[in-house]
Structure 1
Amino acid sequence: MLIILDRDGVINQYDGSYICSPDEWHPIPGSIEAVARLCHAGHRIAIATNQSGIGRGYYDVDTLDAMHDKLEGLVEAAGGCIDLITYCPHHPDDYCRCRKPRIGLLEQIRTHYRLDSLNGAIMVGDSRKDLEAGVSAGCDVALVRTGNGLDTERHLAERPIPRVQVPVFDNLRSFADALLASEGWQKQIESV
């Protein structure tokens, strides 16, 4: 199965401030191991992340690459692999096609894997933008409560995404636990 992860607030700690250097990039406890476990089980991992800090001039592509090198190195040290990282470098006012909730990043992922669709893939995020992008691209979606996830969960209770069940997990580790359990993923969807 293809699993598409948002980055900030899903894999790494995020409090709403821009992460502008590898030294400021810190994984959420258990997230690196969760990615490695998913890889060991045969799942493919891709990342789709909005990085408007580039468009705002807070950091450059080389700095972003260094953050992603750190991420990939930690995942590889845990025995996993990230196949692909896609990112949107644009300022929100640019109205580009790749910034989530638009689906440009997910289309890049679909093209990379030479898939006709993303049906059956899972988009895991901490924000409504992540979930809306996933739904629009044909993915199943899951919300984690880390990063912006608690606020997103509260807002979804007030204004759900039409015709979509969104299973909610405490963090990426609990998502991986449920998915890797023989019936965990389906039970979580049915309980929503």
Structure 2
Amino acid sequence: MNKAVFFDRDGVLNRDIGYLYRIEDFHWIKGAIESIKKFNERNYYTFVVTNQSGVARGYYTEQDIKILHNWINTQLTKYGAHIDEFFYCPHYEYGIIKRYSHFCECRKPNPKMIDDACKKYYLNKKMSLLIGDRDSDIICAKNAGIKGYKFVGNDLFDFINNIIFK
């Protein structure tokens, strides 16, 4: 069984500007790249789990999300780091794009994105964790049966070193 870290995206890895999808609007949180690299070096599978209701709201498309996520991984490779897979939920019950406007089990705080990763990558939940910046992230971790840590502060690397790798 393998261990994993799940990162929420907006507010943890990058500044949360609300409905981010354009590369030019992306700004790393201080210490995010170093944090990802540290987990990579410690043999954690490294994932992003993110709600992306902007798709259902008609603000951007799934293709826009994929372009941004590919770009993020390209940037990370310059530092010897990577995300193994990005999981996202494009659904939102009150959206305007019909095919995305419904309740979805993958939308956090529901644990489906984590559960899917656990099955696909044979993850040990007792050795896995989620780092998020909202209560819904921590509830998601609890619902999935993994540890959840609420990121506070402005340097993710300091946070993981003080909380997780102390």
With the shorter chain as reference, the TM-score category is: 0.7 to 0.9
**Is residue 2:30 matched to residue 1:22?**
no
Q: Identify the structure with the greater helix proportion.
A: 1
- Aligned twin of 2:135: 128
Partner Cα distance (1:48, 1:107) in 2: 11
Partner Cα distance (2:91, 2:34) in 1: 30
Report the secondary structure of 1:32's partner residue. helix
Relative to structure 1, is the Cα distance of residues 142 and 52 closer, same or farther in structure 2, using a 3 angstrom cutoff?
same
Structure 1: state its 5+ residue gaps.
147-169, 185-192
**Is residue 2:151 matched to residue 1:144?**
yes
In the TM superposition, residue 95 of structure 1 has moved relative to its aligned partner by: 1.6
Partner Cα distance (1:30, 1:77) in 2: 15
Partner Cα distance (2:40, 2:164) in 1: 11
- Aligned twin of 2:160: 176
Relative to structure 1, is the Cα distance of residues 95 and 109 closer, same or farther in structure 2, using a 3 angstrom cutoff?
same
Partner Cα distance (1:30, 1:88) in 2: 25
Report the secondary structure of 1:47's partner residue. strand
TM-score, length-scaled by structure 2: 0.86
- Aligned twin of 2:83: 82
Relative to structure 1, is the Cα distance of residues 180 and 90 closer, same or farther in structure 2, using a 3 angstrom cutoff?
closer
Higher mean C-alpha deviation, range 170-179 or range 120-129: 170-179
TM-score, length-scaled by structure 1: 0.75
Alignment of 1:1-192 (within 5 A): 1-15=3-17, 17-93=18-94, 94-115=102-123, 118-145=125-152, 171-178=155-162, 181=165, 184=166
In the TM superposition, residue 180 of structure 1 has moved relative to its aligned partner by: 6.9
Relative to structure 1, is the Cα distance of residues 179 and 44 closer, same or farther in structure 2, using a 3 angstrom cutoff?
farther
Alpha-carbon deviations, 1:88-109, whole Å to 9, x = none?
Answer: 0001432210000011111111
Q: For 2:58, give the aligned amino acid.
A: G
Relative to structure 1, is the Cα distance of residues 68 and 110 closer, same or farther in structure 2, using a 3 angstrom cutoff?
same
Contact conserved, 2:132 with 2:138, CA < 8 A, in 1? Answer: yes
Contact conserved, 2:133 with 2:151, CA < 8 A, in 1? Answer: yes
In the TM superposition, residue 33 of structure 1 has moved relative to its aligned partner by: 1.8
Structure 2: state its 5+ residue gaps.
95-101
Contact conserved, 1:10 with 1:171, CA < 8 A, in 2? Answer: no
- Aligned twin of 1:153: none
In the TM superposition, residue 119 of structure 1 has moved relative to its aligned partner by: 2.4
Contact conserved, 1:38 with 1:176, CA < 8 A, in 2? Answer: no
In the TM superposition, residue 86 of structure 1 has moved relative to its aligned partner by: 0.5
